[in-house]
Amino acid sequence: KAGVTQTPRYLIKTRGQQVTLSCSPISGHRSVSWYQQTPGQGLQFLFEYFSETQRNKGNFPGRFSGRQFSNSRSEMNVSTLELGDSALYLCASSSATGTAQYFGPGTRLLVL
Amino acid sequence: GESVGLHLPTLSVQEGDNSIINCAYSNSASDYFIWYKQESGKGPQFIIDIRSNMDKRQGQRVTVLLNKTVKHLSLQIAATQPGDSAVYFCAETTAFAGGTSYGKLTFGQGTILTVHP
C-alpha cells in the first residue's frame, strides 16, 4: 500500500501571499490531520477532517484553513503568509476504525 | 525578535546498548499513546502504540511502558543500532472520547537519540 503523499515537497513564498498544500492519504483512510512543525514550537495540531467534515481544530488563526474531498484527499490553505508561518507542514491519515496516524514526508514552506 | 528553539533532551548510547526514552504526558484523560521516530528531512514514522488499559506492549526490539499513575510513558529499544539515531516523539490522544477527539495528537517535545558505532 502506498503511504501518505504530500505535494509540493518544498515551497518558497513571500509575505502576504497565500499557499495551498495537498495531501493524499493511505488508500482506505478517511481521517486526515494536519500538523505544523517548527523548531520553536515543535509539532502542533492544526485540524482534522473526516468524511469531508472538520472534526477537530487546533489553536491557529483563521488564516489557516482546510478541506477534504470525497476521495479523502485533503488540502490546507494559508492566506496572508507571515514569516512565522515558515515550517514543515505534515499530513497524517488514519482509518475510520484504527487509531494510529501515519505521516507523510511533509511540505517545507519558507516565507521570505 | 529572535525565536528560541526547543531544547530537546538528548540521549547518546553505544551501538548494542539498550536505550530508554522517557516522556511525561499531560492529559490524564488520554487513553491512547503512540511513539514516533523522525529522521532528518522525513515525516514521523510510527513505531509502537499502547492503549490506556495496558501497562506494557512489545514490538520488534521495542517495548513501551505506560504508568498512568504518574502520567509517564517510556520507550525501550533493545540492541540499539546506528540506524536508530533520530528524534523520538511520544504522542497522546483521547481516541475514544465519544469519537469527538479522534484525530488530534498532542506531541511531546521529542528526544534526540544518537547511537555511536
The predicted-structure confidence for A78-112, as pLDDT tens digits, reads as follows 999 999 999 999 999 998 766 789 999 999 999 99
User: pLDDT at residue B2 above 50?
Assistant: no
Classify residue A112 by its DSSP letter.
Answer: -
CA-based nearest distance B95→chain A, Å: 7
CA pair distance A38, B45, nearest whole angstrom: 17
Q: Which helix (H) or strand (E) holds B48?
A: strand B45-51
User: Is pLDDT at A27 greater than 50 in this prediction?
Assistant: yes
Q: Count of CB atoms within 10 A of residue B115's CB? A: 20
In this prediction, residues B11-33 reach a mean pLDDT of 94
Quickly state the pLDDT bin for B100 (edges 50, 70, 90).
very low
Of A17-26, B7-16, B45-54, B90-99, the range with the lowest mean pLDDT is B90-99
Report the run of H or E that residue A64 belongs to, with start and end. strand A64-68
- Residue B5's pLDDT is 59
Residues of A with CB below 8 A from B34's CB?
100-101
**A15-41 average pLDDT score:** 96
Cis geometry, peptide bond prior to residue A8 (ω within 30 degrees of 0) = yes
Contacts with A32 from chain B: Cβ below 8 Å:
103
Quick check: A40 and B93 CB within 8 A? no
pLDDT of residue B3 exceeding 60, the answer is no
